[in-house]
Chains A and B, each alone.
Chain A
């Protein structure tokens, strides 16, 4: 099944990105994790996101637009990246999520991507 892993990082994680001393350590943890999934041949897509402060939120109500500085929702942990993987089960996906660096101080959501048939049903 196709799963989406959403790496929600803690403020401390994002801070590491901007700290020259901790940057390498931060990156190598991510490379190790993504490398392991790639070796297992399950990664379909993945991307890292810029800092949460770069987020912008758009909504339209009755034809009137609102543009706000993000992120949405305004929580402590914020999305820092995602992986689309092909896993045997939701549990297998959760096992991968547990290894994700973001799970240490933040959390990782595992969400199901429906098949086209499921989706239109």
Chain B
């Protein structure tokens, strides 16, 4: 894709999200607002990359959408319909545009609605991706490994709930703000992992919707600039994204320790470090900051030849206290092994119930690695087999086969 094309699409997307937030805030009807904007957005994606984005993207979209709304309102006089209300909101939006030139951005409120406690957690992220970023249900379904019809039904149900349950379209009150923002950040993080039980935490393979997650996280920090955890999330995602080109080389997966730092995107790393420093200065520690600090320590050890292995162990211990999960425990075990404490790592893995890891590929990969370090080659090979059996792509399968063969060759 050319740069012009990307810029045009991003402009279209940003304007779409802003307009949808505006219309939804006034009608609470996400589905109707989406319908109203759908044609206009499609037309924008067709024209803007070719002719360049218009001076006022929102005005362009509004004019196109409003024509359809008025038309629709005229046709559906008899039944209850959101189009008159939408047309009114659209008019109001046009007036706002004329007055201020700058269109009010209410997308953060829309994020709060999507991640509202009344909305089922698994559908929060898909809702965000669809309403704020205009991703279609098929694409979201694929990323989350859900049948498209099922995903579409769940989205429809969630939108109906927003409309019918009267979920308020506003920034949460100060006392519940931290929890509510936490819900938003968790949902954004879920776009990044998108249903993948990604590697060992030390180097996410992040085949999820990383770019979309970064967009949403940056949007959050743009509108809430002094939220430590939001900044932490931005830093974490940027570190992962910075390694994209080093992670898969010639179709082969490359572990973090074997990656060529020259292939890392230094601008993204700089932005990540900047966000993380700002986050720490706010003195309100949380899981995303700690996860970002782990990635930062990994980057530092490669870029400046610092031995950060003990720091990483400590950070994982902290992460396990703040937000214990199988992923953080497996990451902790891997960090212990890297710091020449393989026995402790194995002990930690043994403490996880097997029923919880029957589908968790990273657990078996890390277990295999640690077993090979403590000299249990046969058990290590078994664990490698188990990890291979849980792979989704050939790159990871190849990677584990190579490790297993190397182990077999050793003895």
- A residues with a Cβ closer than 8 A to B are 56, 58, 60, 62-69
- Is B251's CB within 8 Å of the partner chain A? yes
Question: Which residues on the B side are within 8 Å of A69 (C-beta)?
Answer: 147-149
B256 contacts the other chain (CB 8 A):
no
Query: Can you name 30 A-B pairs with beta carbons within 8 Å?
Result: A56-B147, A56-B148, A58-B145, A60-B392, A62-B248, A62-B251, A62-B393, A62-B395, A63-B205, A63-B207, A63-B248, A63-B393, A63-B395, A63-B396, A64-B142, A65-B142, A65-B143, A65-B145, A65-B207, A66-B142, A67-B142, A67-B145, A67-B147, A67-B148, A68-B138, A68-B142, A68-B148, A69-B147, A69-B148, A69-B149
CA distance A62 to B395 in the complex (A): 8
Q: Which residue of B lies closest to A61 (CB)?
A: B393
Interface membership of chain B positions 202-221, coded 1 if the CB is closer than 8 angstroms to chain A and 0 otherwise? 00010100000000000000
Contact-size category for B: 10 to 19
- A120 CB, nearest partner CB in chain B, Å: 16
Q: Which A residues lie within 8 Å of B142 (CB)?
A: 64-68
Pick from A56, A62, A65, A68 the residue with the most CB of B within 10 Å.
A65
Contact B146–A67 (Cβ < 8 Å): yes
Q: Is B297 an interface residue (CB 8 A)?
A: no
B141, CB-defined interface residue at 8 Å: yes
A-facing residues in B190-211 (Cβ within 8 Å)? 205, 207
Closest to B251 in A: A62
Give B residues with C-beta under 8 Å from A.
138, 141-143, 145-149, 205, 207, 248, 251, 392-393, 395-396
Give Cα A64–Cα B206 distance, bound, in whole angstroms. Answer: 10
A68 to B148: give the CA distance in the assembly, Å: 6
Q: For the complex, what is the distance from the CA of A45 to the CA of B147, rounded to whole Å?
A: 28
Would you call A67 and B392 a contact (CB within 8 A)?
A: no
Closest chain A residue to B149, Cβ basis: A69
Q: Which residues of B contact A65 (CB under 8 A)?
A: 142-143, 145, 207, 392
- Given the complex, which residues of B lie within 8 Å of A68, measured CB to CB? 138, 142, 148
- Alpha-carbon distance between A60 and B395 when the two chains are bound, in angstroms: 11
Q: Which residue of A lies closest to B147 (CB)?
A: A56
Q: How far, in Å, is B213 (CB) from chain A's closest CB? A: 15
Question: Taking CB as reference atom, which chain A residue is nearest B141?
Answer: A67
Q: In the complex, A65→B143 CA distance in Å?
A: 6
Query: How many Å lie between the Cα of A63 and that of B244 in the bound state?
Result: 13
CA distance in complex: A60, B142 (Å): 10
Q: Taking the nearest CB of chain B, how far is it from the CB of A107, in angstroms?
A: 27
The 6 residue pairs across chains A and B that have the minimum distance between CB atoms: A56-B147, A63-B393, A63-B207, A67-B142, A66-B142, A65-B142
User: Considering the chains assembled together, what is the distance between the CA atoms of A62 and B147 in angstroms?
Assistant: 20
What is the CB-to-nearest-CB distance from A110 to chain B, in angstroms, rounded to a whole number? 30
- Residue among A58, A66, A67 with most chain B CB within 10 A: A67
Q: Which residues in A have their C-beta under 8 angstroms from that of B393?
A: 60, 62-63
- Chain B: which residue is nearest A56 at the CB level? B147
Q: How many angstroms from the CA of A69 to the CA of B147 in the assembled complex? A: 6
| A69 vs B146: C-alpha distance when bound (angstroms) | 10
Question: Within the assembled complex, what's the spacing in Å between the Cα atoms of A99 and B147?
Answer: 35
Closest beta carbon of chain A to B144's beta carbon, Å: 8
- Provide the bound-state CA to CA distance between A67 and B126, in Å: 15
User: Chain B's nearest CB lies how many Å from the CB of A17?
Assistant: 19
Other than A60-B392, A63-B395, give 5 A-B pairs with Cβ distance below 8 A: A63-B393, A64-B207, A65-B145, A67-B141, A68-B148
